Amino acid sequence: MSRFTRRSALAALGVGLAAGAARAWAQKQIFDPQGGSGGLKLTETQIAAGQAFALNHPSVDVHSHPGRFFLRDITKQNATTRAMGLPFEAKVLTDMSVGHVTAALFNCVSDAVLLGPSKTAGLMAEREFEPGEAWAEYQRQIAVLKAMVTRGDAAPGLNGRDISHAMISQRPAAVFAVEGGDFIEDRLERVHTAYADGVRSVTIVHYHPNQIGDPQTETPRSPGLTPLGRDIVRELNNIGMVVDLAHASMGVTRGAVAIATRPMMISHTNLKRPDLDHPRLISVEHAKLVTTHGGVVGSVPSGIGQTTLADWIGSILRLTDAVGIDHVAVGTDMDANFMPVFSDYADWPLIPAALLANGMAEGEVAKVMGGNFLRVLAAAQR
Ligand SMILES: [Zn+2]
Ligand SMILES: [Zn+2]
């Protein structure tokens, strides 16, 4: 019996099987109509297919905070960071190897020391940065990532070639990323410093309304990107980083796409539904701002409108129906997610297993699990 068949996550999976391979995946019968154990489950053969898939294809988690590395060596704890406990990168890197995750975007959190709970949106900035604080926080967190790669705990993830090597060596690659462009302040040269540090993606806005624009979780101060924000987006494009528009307001997204010279990404979100609205969810129109320019949208296994792994698989399928197979990715927000329905990288092969079981062809699953992001990364670095 494999490790996976013993897991409780699997027992709760309840992903049903649909015959055929019609294009409207989300319309398929993927949920157990009775609920609970009466429904179809992934068979051992299907789970084995997911494991074989994970071994044979490069896969990328487009948004992650493995083991909450961003808390290591933190000096300015607040109630939120204290509640998160101690970082545990080593355990999660082992889980990634077990699950054959080829690479993940290891995200620093620019505004981590500012954050507190919000009644409506999960988190919010409780205060402003002190002078020098945003840059000091960037330097602390990027040093943690560099040490991880220097020690050999994670493989480098500077480009597609590194990610191919990581797959062969079976050691997960860390693609350095920063959630929140706050650390750039008004210093465009910091985009160059970050690139030299190995950063390959910046989520320009997080929870703190910053010099670039407003998050989707706050009442907007301005309709779109600030003039400085436009300069920063251009600089990120020019240097070859993937611009991540997760958390950004629709106005900021529109503004960024309007000046983009490279495909962009919304790394961790899901679509609103007629019965479900939340500030962190986006409309199909919002998603298409990015996907019609060649970009990708990552589906997140958060507890917003999802209570099981099967719900998340449903969200991935709905997103695929809405924006097309070439524009969907997986962004788990691992270890900093809100009530996650997927929280163990050892279960990673269940995702391709469930997508294959729902009628996606192997090549299509390969796009969702990593191929689409690798295309966007290559286009950013061209
Ligand atoms: Zn986020
Ligand atoms: Zn995150």
| Model pLDDT, residue 257 | 98
Count of other CB atoms within 10 angstroms of residue 370: 23
**185-224 b/e (C-beta count within 10 Å ≥ 16 → b):** beebebbebbbebbbbbbbbbbbbbbbbbbbbbbeeeeeb
Which burial class, exposed, middle or buried, applies to 9 when counting CB atoms under 10 A from its CB (0-12, 13-18, 19+)? middle
182 CA distance to ligand 1 middle (Å) = 14
Tell me the ligand closest to 178's alpha carbon.
2
For the chain, what percent of residues have pLDDT higher than 90? 84
206 CA distance to ligand 2 middle (Å) = 8
Q: How far apart are CA 33 and CA 367, in angstroms?
A: 29
108, 117, 15, 28: which is closest to 69 by C-alpha? 108
Q: How far apart are CA 19 and CA 69, in angstroms?
A: 42
Tell me the ligand closest to 70's alpha carbon.
2
| Model pLDDT, residue 122 | 85
Q: Each residue of 179-198: pLDDT tens digit?
A: 999 999 999 999 999 999 99
Residue 112 carries which DSSP code? G
366 CA distance to ligand 2 middle (Å) = 23
pLDDT tier for residue 144 given thresholds of 50, 70 and 90:
very high
381 CA distance to ligand 1 middle (Å) = 24
291 CA distance to ligand 1 middle (Å) = 19
337 CA distance to ligand 2 middle (Å) = 7
* Residues whose CB falls within 8 Å of the CB of residue 43, separated by 6 or more in sequence, listed in order: none
Tell me the ligand closest to 206's alpha carbon.
1
N-to-C CA span, the chain: 45
206, 229, 160: which is closest to 379 by C-alpha? 160
| Model pLDDT, residue 25 | 41
Instruction: Tell me what the mean pLDDT of segment 266-272 comes to.
Output: 98
Q: Each residue of 5-60: pLDDT tens digit?
A: 333 343 334 433 332 333 344 433 333 333 332 223 799 999 999 999 999 999 99
| Model pLDDT, residue 222 | 86
Contact between residue 204 and residue 181 where contact means Cβ atoms under 8 Å apart: yes
| Model pLDDT, residue 41 | 73
4 CA distance to ligand 2 middle (Å) = 26
Q: How far apart are CA 173 and CA 165, in angstroms?
A: 9
| Model pLDDT, residue 367 | 98
Class of domain 3-9+40-380: alpha beta
Instruction: Tell me what the mean pLDDT of segment 292-299 comes to.
Output: 98
343, 301, 303: which is closest to 66 by C-alpha? 343
Decide the pairing of beta strands 296-299 and 328-330.
parallel
Tell me the ligand closest to 64's alpha carbon.
2
Spell out the domain ranges in the chain.
3-9+40-380
Range with the poorest average pLDDT among 18-27, 89-98, 240-249: 18-27
108 CA distance to ligand 2 middle (Å) = 8
pTM, rounded to two decimals: 0.91
| Model pLDDT, residue 17 | 31
Q: Each residue of 302-349: pLDDT tens digit?
A: 999 999 999 999 999 999 999 999 999 999 999 999 899 999 999 999
203 CA distance to ligand 1 middle (Å) = 8
For the chain, what percent of residues have pLDDT higher than 70? 90
| 3-state class (DSSP) for residue 100 | coil
CA distances from 8 to 4, 11, 14, 187, 200 (A): 9, 5, 11, 49, 36
What's the chain's average pLDDT? 90
**243-282 b/e (C-beta count within 10 Å ≥ 16 → b):** bbbbbbbbbbbbbbbeebebbbbbbbbbbbeeeeebbbbb
Contact between residue 175 and residue 200 where contact means Cβ atoms under 8 Å apart: yes
**Calculated CA dihedral for residues 240, 244, 250, 255, nearest 10 degrees:** -10
Tokens for 206?
Answer: 């997080």
Q: How far apart are CA 341 and CA 309, in angstroms?
A: 5
2 CA distance to ligand 1 middle (Å) = 33
- pLDDT: which is higher, 68 or 10: 68
Residue 72 carries which DSSP code? T
Q: What sign results for the dihedral spanned by CA atoms 203, 209, 210, 216? A: positive
Does residue 235 carry a pLDDT above 80? yes
